[in-house]
């Protein structure tokens, strides 16, 4: 498969009477976007109203509670469309041409139904820990209809769909533009790869997907990952919207849809492909709750690594606690097949950093228990009602002066286990 991504660099977002992209500026008519969101029946059933707002890098703005972050894109050539199986039809993506509105994102926010949502600060110490403080963010804030507490899954699903619809609406504005930069990505079939790159080590990316249920969901071509068996994806499928976030794990190591679209492990492996290694494929595997499911998935992961005659594998986790078992089972079984393995995870080492680490010889995204003070900012997009109860917060996290004392867990993407962050440890 060969995928060409055309990057259109965004410089600003402004509200306007019409929706268009011109000279690097996104002009948005909020009413037109909201009308498009309400064309979906689920959104119409469970969301009472939407508010759109803009957050730019360096502004004194706090967005909370954050549900998802999505990069606007549009398929301009080749099979499939954006977010197949959810927004577009279930066609295989990962080839042809896709235009990307780079430097911006759609951020969804709204009342939470659990406790594991997050914060994006656009300035101050919190901004240093999230990649999304560097983006131009069009924020979609959802207000649920009365009685949503008895229909939490339906409301949460509606907000996720609204975010994807907003991203597809905005992405469509880039269809007929000329990209500022274009990059191509291509991998080979098994036989072709061996013939073309006979002397390079064969490496795959074992991509663990959060699928514990209870709003801990990831979708592959519209199918909840807990309902799937370990399987193979072409890396370009991941880059082209085949995997979507639907989970509410701790904000610090949640893989948002933006993370999947811009997975840095995939990017690094492509950068080395044909030079120092042969990037064979992605192996996606779930993180289910029960031991039998974990055994089945990890067995299949190891089996595929052996069938593909891999020399090495990079394994990334999502979440912590229960998924730690999946991570170690996958890694141990892969190595028993003679495949060298590297883990990417993060640490929950206590606020003093002295608790025992998960394993040795790993790449870590940092300690999620590290305490941070977030100063009061001038503007809140969303609401502060939940700061004391989101994962990483505590009773009294929201101080009387408007500042927040909490663990890094509350910051969206702070210890991301794809390595999409600024933290690590020795």
- Torsion, Cα 184 189 190 192, to 10 degrees, reads -90
> Distance between CA 300 and CA 157 in Å, rounded?
30
Closest to 225 in 3D by CA, of 211, 241, 243: 211
* Residue pair 298/333 in contact by the 8 Å Cβ criterion: yes
Report residue 266: phi and psi, to 5°: -60, -45
Active site residue 248: yes
Q: If residue 101 lies in a helix (H) or strand (E), which one and from where to where?
A: strand 96-102
Which among 32, 245, 31, 252 has a CA at the least distance from the CA of 156? 245
- Residues 267-285 as b/e (b if ≥16 CB within 10 A, e otherwise) read eebbeebbeebbbbbbbbb
DSSP strands (E only) in 250-356: 278-287, 312-316, 340-347
Query: Are 344 and 314 within 8 A, CB to CB?
Result: yes
Which listed residue (19, 248, 252, 305) is catalytic?
248
Cα separation of 217 and 315, whole Å?
19
Q: Give the chain's length.
A: 426
In 3-state terms, what secondary structure has residue 16? coil
Burial of 27 (0-12, 13-18, 19+ CB in 10 A): middle
The CA-based dihedral angle spanning residues 355, 357, 363, 364, taken in that order and rounded to the nearest 10 degrees:
-30
The secondary structure of residue 142, as a DSSP letter, is E
* Max Cα–Cα distance, the chain, nearest Å: 66
Q: Quick check: 255 and 248 in contact, CB under 8 A?
A: no
Q: Which residues contact 144 (CB under 8 A, 6 or more apart)?
A: 46, 47, 48, 110, 111, 155
Give Cα 23 distance to the centre of its chain: 28
DSSP-derived letter for residue 398 is: B
Find the DSSP H helices in 7-132. 30-37, 41-46
Catalytic residues: 248
């Amino acid at each position: 498969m060969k995928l060409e991504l055309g990057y259109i660099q965004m410089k600003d977002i402004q509200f306007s009477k019409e929706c268009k992209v011109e000279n690097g500026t996104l002009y948005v008519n909020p009413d037109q976007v909201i009308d498009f969101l309400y064309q979906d029946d689920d959104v119409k059933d469970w969301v009472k109203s939407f508010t759109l707002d803009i957050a730019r890098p360096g502004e004194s703005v706090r967005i909370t509670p954050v549900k998802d972050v999505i990069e606007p894109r549009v398929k301009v050539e080749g099979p499939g469309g954006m977010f197949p199986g959810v927004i577009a039809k279930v066609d295989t993506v990962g080839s042809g041409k896709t235009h990307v509105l780079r430097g911006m994102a759609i951020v969804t926010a709204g009342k939470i139904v659990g406790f594991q949502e997050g914060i994006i600060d656009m300035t101050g110490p919190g901004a240093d820990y999230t990649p999304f403080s560097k983006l131009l963010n069009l924020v979609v804030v959802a207000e649920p209809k009365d009685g949503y507490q008895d229909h939490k899954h339906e409301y949460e699903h509606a907000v996720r769909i609204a975010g994807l619809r907003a991203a597809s609406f905005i992405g469509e504005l880039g269809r007929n533009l000329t990209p500022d930069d274009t990059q191509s990505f291509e991998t080979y079939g098994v036989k072709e790869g061996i013939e073309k790159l006979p002397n390079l080590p064969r490496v795959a990316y074992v991509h663990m997907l959060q699928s514990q249920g209870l709003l801990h969901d990831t979708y592959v071509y519209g199918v909840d990952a807990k309902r799937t068996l370990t399987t193979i994806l072409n890396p370009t499928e991941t880059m082209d919207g085949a995997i979507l976030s639907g989970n509410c794990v701790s904000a610090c190591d949640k893989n948002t849809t933006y993370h999947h679209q811009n997975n840095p492990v995939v990017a690094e492996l492509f950068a080395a492909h044909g030079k120092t290694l042969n990037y064979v494929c992605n192996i996606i595997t779930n993180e289910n709750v029960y031991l039998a499911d974990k055994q089945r998935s990890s067995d299949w992961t190891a089996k595929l690594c052996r069938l593909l005659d891999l020399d090495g594998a990079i394994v990334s986790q999502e979440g912590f606690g229960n998924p730690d078992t999946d991570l170690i089972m996958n890694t141990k079984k892969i190595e028993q097949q003679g495949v060298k393995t590297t883990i990417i995870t993060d640490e929950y080492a206590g606020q003093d950093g002295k608790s025992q680490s998960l394993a040795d010889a790993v790449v870590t995204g940092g300690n999620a228990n590290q305490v941070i003070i977030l100063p009061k900012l001038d503007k809140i997009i969303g609401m502060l009602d939940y700061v004391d109860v989101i994962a990483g917060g505590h009773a009294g996290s929201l101080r009387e002066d408007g500042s927040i004392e909490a663990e890094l867990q509350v910051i969206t993407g702070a210890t991301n286990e794809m390595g999409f962050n600024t933290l690590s440890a020795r």
